[in-house]
Structure 1
Amino acid sequence: MASKTTFVVQGFELKRKRLVPGQRDVAPTQGGALKRAEALATRLPGAAALCIVADEETGELFTATILGTFGEIPEGFAESLLDG
């Protein structure tokens, strides 16, 4: 099993007075993900930079780590990553 690391930027929007996941983008590097998340949070209520490690063939999630958050993110977002 070969694992693949992907850096993801997750934006959050306000819908019906609740923060919900919105725009998602893949970044080439950890630093790039952090910079994109910070920039995105200037246009949206909040954003998070994530590091996702998954099996290349099956897509099975091994780990999901929050590298940084900017602005507001939903309560329980970190726990939701662990729940899959």
Structure 2
Amino acid sequence: MRKGAPLSVPIRKMGTFPPMVPSMIEIGEESGTLEEVLEKTAGIYDEEVDIEVQRMLSLMEPLMIVVMALIVGFIVIAMMLPMFGMLQTV
């Protein structure tokens, strides 16, 4: 970049970002609207992250209910077993 290379070149070489990102940056550099293109790209990926977070939460909620039910069931069994033991000795 210090030699005047466009921003899209090192980003493309890194390979960290999806192929759409360097392409959009290149378009923004050529059209002179890099800031707007970066904002739109950030918005797209923000939406994708929000969707994935919601999906993860929708999967975790039932799992947490099952875990809580197992904990409550374990506590109930732990309290009832000694009572059954005492009833059998009587």
TM over 0.5: no
- Structure in which a larger fraction of residues adopt strand: 1
Q: For the pair shown, which has the larger CA radius of gyration, 1 or 2?
A: 2
* TM-score of the aligned structures, taking structure 2 as reference length: 0.26
- Structure in which a larger fraction of residues adopt helix: 2
* TM-score of the aligned structures, taking structure 1 as reference length: 0.28
